[in-house]
Every structure is written in structure tokens, then in C-alpha cells.
Amino acid sequence: MDLAKEEQEMLSGRHGNAVRSSMNLLVSLGEIFGAKRLIDISSVQIAGVSYHNLGEAGLDYLSDLAKDGKVKVLTTLNPAGMDMENWKALGIPEDFAEKQIRVIEAFRKMGVVTTCTCTPYFVGNSPPSGSHVAWSESSAVCYANSVLGLKTNREGGPSALASALTGKTPEFGMHLDANRQAKVVIDVEAAMKTIPDFGALGHVIGNRIGNKVPLIRGVKKASVEQLKSFCASIATYGGTALFHMYGITPGKTAVPEEKISVSREDIDNARAEMTDGKDPDFIAIGCPHLSLKEVGEVAELLRGKHVKKEMWICMARPVMKDAEKRGWIKDIEESGAKIACDTCMVVAPIKGRFNVLATDSAKGCFYGRGKNDFKTIILSIPELIEEATK
Amino acid sequence: MRLSGRKVMNGSAEGEALVSSEGISFYGGVDPATGNVVEKGHPLEGQSVKGKILVFPAGKGSTVGSYALYDMKKRGNAPAAIVNREIETIVAVGAIISEIPCVDKIEIEKLKTGQRVRVEADSGVVEIVE
């Protein structure tokens, strides 16, 4: 790789140990994946925040970098293993909480904005379209590339952090326009209405095409919330980093030859595949974290009702603060549902506490099964609230 | 026999080869506390990767796998070296931050479990000692 003088100095250790080891990681990756140079990035989203995933070794790794490392660009965090303020109410053990707080402190010491969310684009981490960024969190990567027009590879925790500490990323993969062209056309022949519909569409496409870039046609309209859910689903089931949705997303692509169609039956089958449980004992909304608009809808539906099952409403803390001013958090809490900021049902250590998860999230179904051995049910938000209050 | 590939992480190691025909997920697929493969139905299920020259086509699964490799190394349960057909980012990052010698672009079909193998990662060479 061709390194500028300043980059060589960073690699040599003149800018400290955290910069040296970060640079070493980025240059090694660049050489393996054929990058010719490093490029400047505008922002970072870091995964590997839950102590449940990091373990003691991961915490040591972060603490080492925090000795002299400082982030060079706006950097936000993925969800943690617990609500950083309200963890006791969610049943998180004290020893876990103590470790999780140390993880967040290590990030804070490096200058990271310690807002823990999978929707960084709702809390101010949203650079102008066309910017290069280094994001992890598969749903956010897919949203960044496809909906926001940003350019990022699917980073893991250590490489995203290395980019934050240097302001650089190796130029390969999604950073090069040639790799952002669609490889297959998906013709959607079913009307997409609800969030579970969009989740099911991501399930169908992801399973059929893996991580190829698709051009999706036939979707007439899609809200921010529907796109967010679709991104989470297609990235979970297919590993997709980027899609084009005709008339909706900003990217440009030629129309490829290979064509696949998706029928109503395919969507219904995917929804049926994600529902293998009944009588849920755990209801969770907010994977990915809710938008302010969605929190308002949930509050409206829960107002004056009584929730009879464990129910989590997951969102970023700044979104919660905003909703609080509108009285929506009070509506939700008075119903008996619990607000979970900074975390969600996917990353919190809740294996063994519940048997059947009901959610509106296709991604939530995948991890609920794979990680926590839950049976799952996919329903829309109004249906979930009916289930919780009946 | 000498097989020639590409350096991912430098260093050298010699040990017994443990060969998998399928990919490995280090997050959830291998227990860092023991080094045993725990993924249900995996060809290496129940076997330990600790101290082995671990040979498999490519990594798979969650990106948290990089931290899981690091965790194994810290606990002394990591493989001595990793040999892949085609590296991907999870194993590459894991090997680099954990300083586990690693090479890819190797014809892994030529390696058999139980063989004594030497990895010279700097020159991208894997040698079957016996």
C-alpha cells in the first residue's frame, strides 16, 4: 500500500501506541484485501460493546487502547448488554453491570460519544451523502450504504475502533463505486405494507442471494421505519451491505441481467418460518431501536391500558429523552411496559429467562432463536400490543 | 511437501494439524474457556483447537468472532497458527490483534488432521514435516 508521510509516522509509533496498533491493523487489512491506499473517514459506529460479547479479554483490549488512544472523528456505540441507568429494573445481575460500566468508561476515555444504539443515524451520526465512514452493526451498515448514500464496509468492532483512532480506513470493497453496482434484480410482486412484511422481504431476498448487491423493484413506498427493519433483516439473513430500491434509495446502478421475483406466497412463507411459537411470555419492540415517530405510536396504543406480560420497548437514550418531553414515556411506563435504552432483546443477557418471544423484527426472531433458544412470533406493533394487554 | 500462500499475520509455529472441511465461527462455535469446538453438527465438534495448526476454508458468523479469538489467546486456548483457503475479515482481524501466525491461499485439501505441520507465515509457507 502507498502510505502518506503522516500515515507512515502513525505506523511507526510516533503518535503513540494506540495509533500504532490501529494503523498496523488497518494496513494489514488493506494489504490482504488489495487496497491501494488509506482514505479519510467522516464517522465511525463501533460494535462489540456488550460485555456479554467482549468478555474479560475484550475489556482488556479496550483498556489498553484507552491508555493513549483518542478518537479522531465522531464515533458512536452499538447497544450495550443493559440499560446503563435502569438495568436493575430489567433484571440484569450486579456483577455483569459492573463490567459493562467499565467497558463504557474505556470508550468514554477515548472520546467516544457513548450513546449506545444500533440506529446512530437517529442520534446525530449521519454525515452528508457520499461520505466515507467506517461502521459496524450490520443493520446500520446496510442503512448507511443503501438509504443514506454513505460508503462503508461491514466493519467488526476492532477495525471500526482502529478507524476511529486514526480517522482512516483502507480503500476496498464498498468504498469503490465499481463494487456498488447491482448484480441481480429482485422484482417484488407483493404489496409491502407492514414492518413484518418488510422483514419477511429481507428474509426472502437475503436467503436467496446472500451478500450480492440487489436492485429491488416493485416496492411503491417505504417509510424510514420500514427501511430500517428491512435493512436489519436482509443484512441478518443475507449479509447484505448495500441494496438499491428503485425510486426510493439514492444510489445509481445499471440494471443487471439476472432476475428473481418474489411473490405474496414467498412473503407469507417467510413470515410463517419466523413464527414457531405460541403464547409469548416476552414481547419486545425496537430492533432496530425505535424512531421517535414509532415511540409516539406505541405510547398512543398503550395509553390507559394494562400490560400483563414482560414487555420491552427499546430505543436510543436521546430518543427516549425527546419522547419523555412529549409525555410518551409516562404513557408507556404507566401501562406496565418497560423502557430499555442503550440495549435490546438481542444483546442483553436474557437466555433462560423466557420461552417465547413475540416481536415485529425479523432480525429479532433470528437472534432470539440462535442466541437465546427462544421460540419466536412475528407480529405488527398494534398486534403485539393487543397480545400484551389481552 | 511445501505449500505456498500469503501472509495474513506474521510469525511461525509448528504443531499437529487439525483440518476442517467447513468454516468456523469463533463466536458461539468454539468455547474460549476450553478451546473445544461446540457448534452442533460441525465436523470438529468436541475437538480442541488449542495449540493446533488449525486448517479450515474460511471464517463465518458474527464479527464478534475477532474478540473471541483474542479471548482464547489470552486464556492460552488459541490455535498455534491458522491456515485458510481464503481469509475473510473476522479471522484476519482476530489473528492480527491476537498475534496468531496466519496464512491463506493454501490448498488445504493437501493437509490432513494429525500431520505435523510447520507454518512460516512471513513467507506464506506451510510445510508438512512428516
pLDDT tens, residue by residue, A184-220: 999 999 999 999 999 999 999 999 998 899 999 999 9
Task: Write the ipTM.
Answer: 0.89
> Which residues of chain B have a CB within 8 Å of the CB of A25?
93, 96-97
pLDDT of B40 > 90? The answer is no
CA distance A214 to chain B (A): 21
Q: Tell me, yes or no, if B62 is annotated catalytic.
A: yes
Alpha carbons A333 and A34: distance in angstroms, whole number: 52
Alpha carbons B30 and A321: distance in angstroms, whole number: 40
State whether A25 and B87 contact (CB < 8 Å). Answer: no
Q: How confident is the model at residue A331 (pLDDT cuts 50, 70, 90)?
A: very high
Catalytic residue (choose from B4, B25, B48, B62): B62
Burial of A208 (0-12, 13-18, 19+ CB in 10 A): middle
Closest C-alpha to B43, from B20, B66, B59, B25: B20
Say what the pTM is: 0.94
CA distance A185 to chain B (A): 26
Beta bridge partners of B19: B55
State whether B93 and A158 contact (CB < 8 Å). Answer: yes
Cβ distance A314 to A344 under 8 Å?
Answer: yes
Under 8 Å CB pairs connecting chains A and B tally to 75
Task: List the single residue in A29, A56, A58 with the smallest CB-CB distance to B92.
Answer: A29
Cβ distance B108 to B19 under 8 Å?
Answer: yes
Q: For A92, how many CA atoms within 13 A lie in the half-sphere containing its CB?
A: 28
pLDDT tens, residue by residue, A339-376: 999 999 988 889 999 999 999 999 999 999 988 899 99
In chain B, which residue's Cα lies nearest the Cα of A53? B64
> Which residues of chain B have a CB within 8 Å of the CB of A47?
63-64
Q: What integer pLDDT is reported at residue A262 of this predicted model?
A: 98
pLDDT of A90 > 90? The answer is no
Q: What is the mean pLDDT of residues A208-237?
A: 96
State whether B96 and A25 contact (CB < 8 Å). Answer: yes
Task: List the single residue in B66, B71, B75 with the smallest CB-CB distance to A158.
Answer: B66
In chain A, which residue's Cα lies nearest the Cα of B7? A32
- Three-class SS string for A255-302? CCCCEEEECHHHHHHHHHHCCCCCCCCEEEECCCCCCHHHHHHHHHHH
Q: Does A58 reach chain B within 8 Å, measured CB to CB? A: yes
3-state secondary structure of A384: helix
> Which residues of chain A have a CB within 8 Å of the CB of B32?
55, 57
Q: What integer pLDDT is reported at residue A371 of this predicted model?
A: 83
Q: Testing the interface with B: which of A32, A56, A137 to mutate, by most B Cβ within 10 A?
A: A32
Q: What is the mean pLDDT of residues A105-122?
A: 98
pLDDT tens, residue by residue, B109-128: 999 999 999 999 999 999 99
Alpha carbons B2 and A332: distance in angstroms, whole number: 66
Alpha carbons A180 and A146: distance in angstroms, whole number: 10
pLDDT of A252 > 90? The answer is yes
pLDDT tens, residue by residue, A4-39: 999 999 999 999 999 999 999 999 999 999 999 999
Q: What is the mean pLDDT of residues A239-264?
A: 97
| Average predicted confidence (pLDDT) for chain A | 96
CA distance B23 to chain A (A): 16
pLDDT tens, residue by residue, B43-76: 999 999 999 999 999 998 788 899 999 999 999 9
